[in-house]
Copies of this chain bind each other. A is one copy, B any other.
Amino acid sequence: MISEIITIGTEILIGSITNTNGPYLSRKLTDVGYEVRYHESVRDSYSDIRDAIELAMKRSNVIFLCGGLGPTQDDMTKQALAHALGLELVFDEEAWEYIVNVSMSFSKNITENNKRQAEFPKGAIIIDNHKGTAPGCLLNYEGKQFFLMPGPPREFEPMADDIVENYLEKVAGENFVTSLRLLNIGESLCESIFREEKIETENVEINTFAKTGEVEIKIIAHAENPEDVKRIGKEHAQAVERVKELFKDHLYGNGERDSFETLVDLLREKNMTISFAESVTGGTLATMITGVAGASDVLKESYITYSNETKEKLLKVKPQTIEAHSVVSKEVAGEMSAGLYNKTQSTYSVATTGEAGPEPSTDHEVGTVFYSISKNGEEIMGGKRLFKGDRKTIQFRSSKFILASILLHELGENNGRK
């Protein structure tokens, strides 16, 4: 099904906001077997919107119009659509009641302008907006489907979920989509491995998505004819199994819980705790953990020890060790995590020291991170790693790498792999 996403708003064209609705909906549509062939953005201009609609009718079957459903004169998507299709706008009593109720629940004033939001092209099916006052709609017209959706992502995204689930014509046949999340492996290495192993077939496609510090692998298959469902489903399942086996040392889940949530869940289940002594990462490790609900069960206290003085005072790092090896060293990281364990008795004691840049303070290159991870007081992982990027990127990547290492270690323990 050839589809097109038109986003409407001058803010997009002057670069004031980035269009995230397009990618959000595109991912959803791709998962259900639609082919998104065009993204187009136009200004809040009646003629530009109308032209975009006329163009889309020539080249696409399913057309999504996002934005311009608000109550002001700037908002004219419905008007332009009605005009392009030669339909009149009809005031919908039920939609109006709904708008009044939603406005009241948000304690928003309702004005005469809001009535525009209850007008729809004749024949439209109204789609509820649970997060705002602008309902969406579906219009079937000469074999084309038009979906009108609100612009703000917090209203757009739930409606996109709703539309994909309840309003789209099903693509003939069946879709198979499996998502797997990997840590501590690069996208291109990942891609070259499954390419080399020739896991993709005529029916099974694999896409990779590089997320911040992780890779999502999506394994997709589509069986158009009922008689192929079983065979292609099996092909898909085999591909999934092969990918899982190939990447078992990196796999942590399907992305429903992110890696930090998965780690906190796991530590909590096992009654484990974690503490950090952060120098180069400067609080990033703690922030990643405390961003998860329930973090308080696993993290009780944590330290940012930026200066040598603080490392000595709080963690009992020996001045001689700093003197002999410099503060950016395996030895200092080791003494930091040992000192941290003595202070906190946490299951995991994690220490970092390194060079975040922009200028190095020691002989080490910017991006050098020494880390030490102890479990019940014994160092189980640690050493030196080099991370690329600017200061914040180095902090983020090294912290994500460390937490990923702990998560993969614990998952390995669960599977008896390590």
Chain A residues at the B interface, C-beta cutoff of 8 Å: 12-20, 22-28, 30, 36-43, 48, 51, 55, 59, 207-209, 276, 281-287, 289-293, 295-296, 299-307, 309-310, 313-314, 356-359, 391-392, 395
Q: Is the interface of A mostly helix, strand, loop or mixed?
A: mixed
| A313 to B290 Cα, complex, angstroms | 20
CB distance from A228 to the nearest CB of B (A): 23
- Chain B residue at smallest Cβ distance from A216: B16
Structural contact, B41 and A22, CB atoms closer than 8 A = yes
| A41 to B19 Cα, complex, angstroms | 12
Q: Which 5 A-B pairs have the closest CB atoms?
A: A282-B290, A283-B286, A15-B26, A15-B27, A283-B283
Structural contact, B290 and A287, CB atoms closer than 8 A = no
Knowing that A18-B23, A286-B304, A293-B358 touch, tell me 6 more A-B residue pairs with CB under 8 angstroms: A13-B38, A14-B36, A15-B36, A19-B19, A295-B306, A296-B307
CB distance from A59 to the nearest CB of B (A): 8
Structural contact, A300 and B290, CB atoms closer than 8 A = no
A302 and B299 contact, Cβ closer than 8 Å, known pairs A37-B43, A290-B395, A291-B395: no
What are 5 A-B pairs with beta-carbon distances under 8 A?
A14-B26, A38-B41, A296-B307, A301-B305, A301-B313
Structural contact, A302 and B283, CB atoms closer than 8 A = yes
* CB neighbours of A27 from chain B (8 A): 14-16
CB distance from A133 to the nearest CB of B (A): 15
Structural contact, B282 and A301, CB atoms closer than 8 A = no
* CB neighbours of A276 from chain B (8 A): 304
| A295 to B19 Cα, complex, angstroms | 34
Structural contact, A38 and B30, CB atoms closer than 8 A = no
Contact residue among B39, B209, B281, B306 (Cβ-Cβ distance under 8 Å from A19) = B39
| A92 to B276 Cα, complex, angstroms | 55
Structural contact, A42 and B38, CB atoms closer than 8 A = yes
CB distance from A331 to the nearest CB of B (A): 20
* CB neighbours of A313 from chain B (8 A): 301
Structural contact, B309 and A300, CB atoms closer than 8 A = yes
Structural contact, A13 and B41, CB atoms closer than 8 A = no
Structural contact, B282 and A395, CB atoms closer than 8 A = no
Structural contact, A391 and B291, CB atoms closer than 8 A = yes
